[in-house]
Chains A and B, each alone.
Chain A
């Protein structure tokens, strides 16, 4: 297996007033192609920072981030846009669909930026929406759908460009538990179909759906391993106390 995502001593610092916040503190890890990884942590643990860096929305302050072998830290803004378009499929907590566009057009957006012809991307978008079970609602607007359905649209949008990594940021955070389970099932299916899925969440029970858990605390990795090992859900910093789920 080749390393798809590789963090080598990645640090990210922010200036907040007088204090320097170290959101990622010498993080090193590697995610291989075809893995299903959950990055877990409380708010403030640095998981959002990691997600932004993995998603090429941000670059490390120091250290190296390699995505598919390319050093992302050396790219300029436009190259970052390009690599996001090419390599990454985003699934956001708030779905982040464009309200004025139809479902079809929403799914087409990344394909349009990839420079695909209109007919071709229409076809791709239709396929992706059919795959998530919304093939009969192509011309609907996002506001006509339930939350679960909207999240399925965003999954379709993430898939349509055939990205190397599917990056899901709290994908169930705005959903009730039943539709949340449906979405998780869909991510599992995607993984089984050979996709690399990175799931960012604060919720251990959701993280446990993944194969592997990377737990962050105060910008450092405190656990990295099998999702089903007992230590995976226990924060060492909380010394033996089971996390409330």
Chain B
């Protein structure tokens, strides 16, 4: 008797108890499809974060200078010099000044709109492009002009798409809009990248009454060397302040890694919870196999009387359990894909983000492995019980 024979026999038995088998497999189906969908969700989130960061520029360092309460300070000229001195590790620089004045368009207040002062280098750094008018230029910085560039959401919401040349009031200052940025997100949202105003950092510093600039974004030529670039900036700042507490240099790549590891952690937790249902499913299989052994006691007795060795009986039941869980696993994979597709569709339809659930090959390999292992582990005990039956007692059993 070979394995194929045993598989055929197992399929016959499973077919003879269709309803019961399907109910038994349900635990495995739910577990496997949940694991695949959840891991796929994590995968999708990782891809999404990567894309979003790429859009924001994962090739940037965010530098925050707090100082140490002394007169020691780093000026913007020092920062520009630092970038100029390290062309292989640092490529460009823009100060970042956050302005917290009230934003008013006519009499309407835009509460969610962010206002930031940046240099002309900021736009290529973040790959922001203009759809109308022009971006900020160097001359706007030196002359501290009251001009600004607005996000597409601002232009659409408050100016019906025709914003260039109009004015906007930020705090006490009236600014002239010189450009409108291209839409950044598929679906524009309040408070998002499209709901933003950018002005020359020099103007912003004036409005915010800021003596020295404290925040910079530095672009780097390659993400691979992000830590070397970061180190360069840190070394330069340490030389000035002599303490690491005076500044923070954060690389976006680092932030992305952090977010990814947080994501992974969350997905792991969810996957483990889904995995529990696999164990429960396995116990279901064991339960039904035990019932099946009891039901088929007489059959086992007959087979043994006719010459079946313990190994054959064992094989028959283990294979039956494996086939059951493998079938469940396959159906689970199928459902995993279906749920992923539905999930992706819902996420895109409801939130407009480009997050898709991407089932990974590794999770499928894992799922198949786990379901086969469940078959073996939870089929073993009932099979052992069957194989050990005494043929005389089994033949007498009704």
Shortest Cβ distance from residue A239 to the other chain B in the assembled complex, whole angstroms: 34
Q: How far is the CA of A77 from the CA of B1 in the complex (A)?
A: 18
- Chain B positions 344-398 with a Cβ under 8 Å from a chain A Cβ: 391-392, 395
The list of the 5 closest CB pairs from A to B, nearest first, reads A85-B307, A113-B307, A110-B306, A81-B309, A78-B309
Q: Is the CB of A100 within 8 A of B395?
A: no
- A112 contacts the other chain (Cβ, under 8 Å)? yes
CA distance A158 to B392 in the complex (A): 18
Contact yes or no, B310 A109, CB < 8 A: no
Interchain nearest-CB distance for A241 vs B (Å): 32
The minimal Cβ–Cβ distance linking B2 to chain A, given in whole angstroms, is: 9
Q: How many residues of A contact B (CB 8 A)?
A: 26
Q: Which of B175-183, B278-286, B296-304 contacts A (4 or more CB under 8 A)?
A: B296-304
Q: B225: which A residues are within 8 A, CB to CB?
A: none
16 contacts between A and B (CB under 8 A): A57-B391, A57-B395, A77-B310, A81-B307, A82-B307, A90-B305, A96-B298, A96-B301, A96-B395, A100-B13, A109-B302, A112-B1, A113-B1, A113-B312, A114-B307, A118-B5
Q: Is A58 an interface residue (CB 8 A)?
A: yes
Q: Is the interface of B mostly helix, strand, loop or mixed?
A: helix
Contact between B13 and A110, CB atoms less than 8 A apart: no
A162 to chain B minimum Cβ distance, whole angstroms, is 13
CA distance A86 to B304 in the complex (A): 13
- Spell out A's residues near B (CB within 8 Å): 52, 55, 57-58, 77-78, 81-82, 84-86, 90, 92, 96-98, 100, 109-110, 112-115, 118, 157, 161
A55 and B305 contact, CB distance less than 8 A = yes
Q: Which residues of B contact A113 (CB under 8 A)?
A: 1, 303, 306-309, 312
Residues of B contacting A57 in the complex (Cβ-Cβ under 8 angstroms): 305, 391-392, 395
- Chain B's interface size range is 20 to 34
Q: How long is the Cα–Cα vector from A132 to B308 in the complex, in angstroms?
A: 25
Q: Which residue of A lies closest to B15 (CB)?
A: A100
- A115 to B392: give the CA distance in the assembly, Å: 24
Give Cα A109–Cα B311 distance, bound, in whole angstroms.
15
A4 to B12, CA, bound (A): 39
B77 at the interface (CB under 8 A from A): no
The chain A residue sitting closest to B16, CB to CB, is A100
Chain A's closest residue to B306 (CB) is A110
In the docked arrangement, what's the CA distance between A112 and B9, Å?
Answer: 12
User: A189 to B193, alpha carbons, bound, how many Å?
Assistant: 97
CB-CB < 8 A to A84: which residues of B? 305-307
Residues from chain B with a CB closer than 8 A to the CB of A161 are 307
In the assembled complex, which residues on chain A have CB atoms less than 8 Å from the CB atom of B302? 96-98, 109
Chain B neighbourhood of A86, CB < 8 A: 307
Bound: A109/B310 CA distance, A: 15
In the bound complex, how far is the Cα of B310 from the Cα of A235, in angstroms? Answer: 42
A115 to B310, CA, bound (A): 15
Distance between A245 CB and nearest chain B CB, rounded to angstroms: 27
User: Which single residue of chain B is at the shortest CB-CB distance from A90?
Assistant: B305
Nearest CB in chain B: distance from A65 CB, A: 15
Contacts of B303 in A (CB 8 A): 98, 109, 113
Assembled-state Cα–Cα distance A113/B303 (Å): 9
